[in-house]
Chain A
Amino acid sequence: MVEPFLAYLDPGAGATILQLVLAGTVGIGALVKLRWQSIKKAVGRGDRSAEDVDTASETAQ
Chain B
Amino acid sequence: MKIDGGSFRDPESRVFIADSRVFRGLSADAAEIDLRVRESGLLDRLVATGVIIENWRVEDIVVPSGVPSAAVVESRRLPVVSYPGEWSFPMLRDAALLTLDANLAALDSGFILKDASAFNVVFEGGKPLIIDVSSLDAVENHAVWTAYGQFVDHFVAPLMLEAYTGMPFQPVLSTSIEGFPVGMLNQLLSGGRRYRRGVMTHVRLRSRIEGRADAMAVDERSRIAAVSLPVSAIQANMKKLRRLVMKLESPNVGRWEGYEASLPYAASETDAKRTFVEGAVATSRGRDLALDVGANEGLFTATMIDRFDHVVAIDNDPGVVGALYTSLEGAGRDRLTPLVVDIVNPSPAYGLRGRERPGFADRVRPDFSTWLAVIHHLSIGQGIPLSEIVELVAETSPEAVVEFVDPADPMVQQISASRPDRVDGYDRTVFEDLLRLRFDVVRAEPVSRTRTMYHVVRRDY
Contacts and interface: CB of A to CB of B under 8 A. Distances in A.
**A12, A15, A58, A59, most chain B CB atoms within 10 A:** A15
B229 interface: yes
**Interface size class of chain B, counting residues whose CB lies under 8 Å from the partner chain:** 35 or more
Contacts of A38: 216, 220, 223-224
A55 to B, nearest CB: 5
B225 A23 contact: no
Given A19-B237, A26-B230, A43 B208 contact: yes
A13 B201 contact: no
Contacts of B240: 22
Nearest to A33: B227
Contacts of B201: 18, 21-22
| Chain A, interface SS category | helix
Contacts of A5: 141-143
B228 A30 contact: yes
Interface string B212-231: 11011110110111111110
Nearest to A56: B217
A43 B205 CA distance: 8
Contacts of B233: 19, 23, 26-27
Interface string A10-54: 011111111111110011001001110010011110001000100
A59 B218 contact: yes
A30 B225 CA distance: 12
Interface in B197-255: 201-202, 205-210, 212-213, 215-218, 220-221, 223-230, 232-234, 236-237, 240
A13 B205 CA distance: 12
A44 B12 contact: no
**A20, A48, A58, most chain B CB atoms within 10 A:** A20
B221 A13 contact: yes
B370 to A, nearest CB: 42
B218 A9 contact: no
Contacts of B145: 11, 19
A5 B205 CA distance: 27
B216 A42 contact: yes
B202 A18 contact: yes
A15 B208 CA distance: 11
Interface stretch (B147-155, B160-168, B431-439, B441-449): B147-155
Contacts of A52: 215
B376 interface: no
A27 to B, nearest CB: 7
A9 B151 CA distance: 12
